[in-house]
Amino acid sequence: MSNNNLNDCKQEPYRETVFRQRVYRIPALIYISDDNILAFAENRKTTDDTSTVTLDMKTGKWKELKPVNKAHLDGYRPMNPCPVYDKKSKTLFLFFICVDGTVSEWEQIKSGINKTRLCYIKSKDDGQNWSQVTDLTEELDEIKQWATFGVGPGHGIQMERGRLIVPLYAYYHHIICCMSSSNVFCLYSDDQGNTWKLGHKLGKKSNECQMAEVFDDEGNSIIYCNAHSKKCHRVEAVSSNKGEDFRILPSGALVETGGGCQGSVVSFPAQSEGAHAGQNKWLLFSHPTDKCHRVNLGVYLNRSPQKPNKWSKLRIINHGPSGYSDLAYIGDGWFVCLMECGEKTETEQIACKVFSYKEVELGIK
């Protein structure tokens, strides 16, 4: 940010480069307070997924680059940053995967042999100091069934009643056809991150995903899931039992890009008169808008989150090459989007775009 306090940013839309000096990919964003928003990304040798060296972090004025050295297992490369914050204990968790050497995702999918581990580190001082790595791989028996997997990438969420949710996808190896297909589900904790469990997988092929909490007309909590698809439209689903099971929604207005691209979703208070605080929530979704190429990152608005046909027309927030993104709602009708973008390719830099709901509303009319 241009200033440490985000209240100073809630004046007018602007854009700023966050990660550029090296090759950076896979942005992740977590908003903790007006004094603290953290950005994460993979620091790579090249654009290839097998070349990640460290997970890096920036805070405050986006000037000080901090390698997150504790996000590390010897002989493994860290990938897919996915932060989530527990408000009660004031603990920041950074989830990520660690992949053996330079083994690619495709090699694991093809062989059915999992070379990936599920890890997290945590911080009690908003990312200034981190714990040692906790490796959950052996604690969750389901992982033994997977060919490979990933978290997020992008942010996790905390439900209003306290449950922590980390979005996750896994490839299940099918012995008969010797191939793997991926499905989405939740990793969750009800005890402030002391123990973690897995929900049930979504009954439709799906991949990189994010989730958000919204409410129905009676005030019941609903977890909305938006996932990468190999088809023409995004996969959307909802859960009425806190993410443990999902019901697939009909294909809606959200177009998938080419062979698929990660997107971000965030819920925020309804921006209309008469909305009940904390209960009426809307959704904002960011994703490249072209059917074939990763270009023209747009945001879509949904004032009826359980109805996939209610997504608004898009508002372009980055013209030209655009890739992965992560959204955060920072209050008072303002958003931050951390996004891959560039002039010739989407992997040239990761930039931050600050914009308001009013800008979105004007753009979609």
| Catalytic residue list | 49, 324, 340
Report the SS3 class of residue 236: strand
CA distance 119 to 134: 6
Which is it for strands 264-269 and 281-288: parallel, antiparallel or unpaired?
A: antiparallel
Identify whether the C-beta of residue 336 lies closer than 8 Å to the C-beta of residue 327.
yes
Classify burial at 303, counting beta carbons within 10 Å of its beta carbon; exposed 0-12, middle 13-18, buried 19 or more.
Answer: middle
- The neighbour count for residue 62, using CB atoms within 10 Å, is 17
- In 3D space, the residue among 58, 41, 61 whose CA is nearest the CA of residue 1 turns out to be 61
Residue 157 CA: distances (Å) to CA of 71, 166, 210, 303, 327: 20, 7, 9, 20, 12
- In 3D space, the residue among 263, 266, 275, 138 whose CA is nearest the CA of residue 209 turns out to be 263
H helix runs in the chain, sequence order: 105-111, 357-364
DSSP sequence for 8-74: GGTTS-EEEEEE-SSEEEEEEEEEEETTEEEEEEEEESSSSGGGEEEEEEEETTS--EEE-TTS--T
- In 3D space, the residue among 361, 344, 167, 354 whose CA is nearest the CA of residue 263 turns out to be 167
- In 3D space, the residue among 174, 305, 178, 297 whose CA is nearest the CA of residue 237 turns out to be 305
Classify burial at 45, counting beta carbons within 10 Å of its beta carbon; exposed 0-12, middle 13-18, buried 19 or more.
Answer: exposed
CA distance 38 to 59: 5
Beta bridge partners of 311: 302
Report the SS3 class of residue 292: coil
